[in-house]
Amino acid sequence: MAYDNLLFSVSDRIATIVINRPKSLNALNPATMTDLKAAFEDLAGREDAGVVLLTGAGEKAFVAGADISEMRSFTPVQALEFALFGQSVLEKIERLPQPVIGVINGFALGGGCELAMACDLLIAADTAKFGQPEVNLGIIPGYGGTQRLPRLVGRNLAKELVLTGDPITAQRAFEIGLVNRVVPAADLMNAAREVAAKILSKGPVAVRTAKMAMNRGLDLDLGNGCALEANAFAVGFSTEDRIEGMTAFMEKRKAVFGGK
């Protein structure tokens, strides 16, 4: 499928989405959010893609935030609509059956940091910068930043980022648990593909179920989260993948999973 603001490709069961507005540092305007919605809706039904990489075009930015040039004329009602729409797109990413790896190639600011936080794990170039600079514009995060950031890094660190608007380095983002790994910029795509290939070699149904259990469980108390897990665990015993996985272990060979 072709998009005005995204590049989309699939190879070796890895789908790659590149946000492609480098002249605006890949800022998110309504048209780009609409493209992202369509791309993730398409991916949900695709059997040829087991992992998704999400990155930005060019070397400078993943996404430098919502597009300020378009946002500046919003009425409050439009701002509400744009925030709710964006939040629903990020929820699509979280609810996508396949894991999504955020490949952070540069600035991930404002809506860009929020988009990154909707991914399942993040690999960042050592040149990347993260931040929630909305207060510099007299506004607050609107794509879930005030909610996901405290859940990811803790309340006080989140407050420091959101209330000062100061950006942090990729290394600092790693130290506070926002990013899984930091690699030299030149190695970024290879590092992301390596992680994707490792996930792809595992039981596909198990990978999807584990993602769902962790994401949904975070919204539940521990007891209900564990109940959700036990049910998902039991469903795993109805799959051909688990027969193959356990048989391969007993036969001391590598499992070949069919995703069924």
- Answer yes or no whether residue 133 interacts with ligand CO8 by CB under 6 A: yes
With CB under 6 A as the contact rule, the residue among 62, 82, 130, 257 that binds ligand CO8 is 82
Tell me whether residue 101 or residue 162 sits nearer to ligand CO8 (CB atom).
162
Task: Spell out, one character per residue from 34 to 53, where the chain touches ligand CO8: x when CB under 6 A holds, - when not.
Answer: --------------------
3-state secondary structure the chain: CCCCCEEEEEECCEEEEEECCHHHCCCECHHHHHHHHHHHHHHHCCCCCCEEEEEECCCCEEECCECHHHHCCCCHHHHHHHHHHHHHHHHHHHHCCCCEEEEECCEEECHHHHHHHCCCEEEEECCCEEECHHHHHCCCCCCCHHHHHHHHHCHHHHHHHHHHCCCEEHHHHHHCCCCCEEECHHHHHHHHHHHHHHHHCCCHHHHHHHHHHHHHHCCCCHHHHHHHHHHHHHHHCCCHHHHHHHHHHHCCCCCCCCCC
With CB under 6 A as the contact rule, the residue among 35, 94, 134, 241 that binds ligand CO8 is 134
Tell me whether residue 79 or residue 232 sits nearer to ligand CO8 (CB atom).
79
Tell me whether residue 50 or residue 65 sits nearer to ligand CO8 (CB atom).
65
| Smallest separation (angstroms) from ligand CO8 to the CB of 137 | 6
**Class of residue 79 by CB neighbours under 10 A (exposed 0-12, middle 13-18, buried 19+):** middle
Give the binding range for ligand CO8 (CB under 6 A) out of 30-38, 58-66, 194-202, 233-241: 58-66
With contacts defined by CB under 6 A, how many residues of the chain interact with ligand CO8?
Answer: 25
Tell me whether residue 85 or residue 233 sits nearer to ligand CO8 (CB atom).
85
Give the binding range for ligand CO8 (CB under 6 A) out of 10-18, 90-98, 139-147, 248-256: 139-147
With CB under 6 A as the contact rule, the residue among 50, 65, 99, 203 that binds ligand CO8 is 65
Q: Of 70, 250, 245, which is closest to residue 258 (Cα–Cα)?
A: 245
Q: For residues 99 and 207, give the distance between their C-alpha atoms in angstroms, rounded to a whole number.
A: 8
Segment 106-125, which members bind ligand CO8 (CB under 6 A)?
Answer: 107, 109-111
Which residues are tagged catalytic? Answer: 114, 134
With CB under 6 A as the contact rule, the residue among 142, 173, 195, 211 that binds ligand CO8 is 142
Tell me whether residue 67 or residue 241 sits nearer to ligand CO8 (CB atom).
67
Interface residues with ligand CO8 (CB under 6 A) are: 24-25, 27, 64-69, 71, 79, 82-83, 86, 107, 109-111, 133-134, 136-137, 141-143
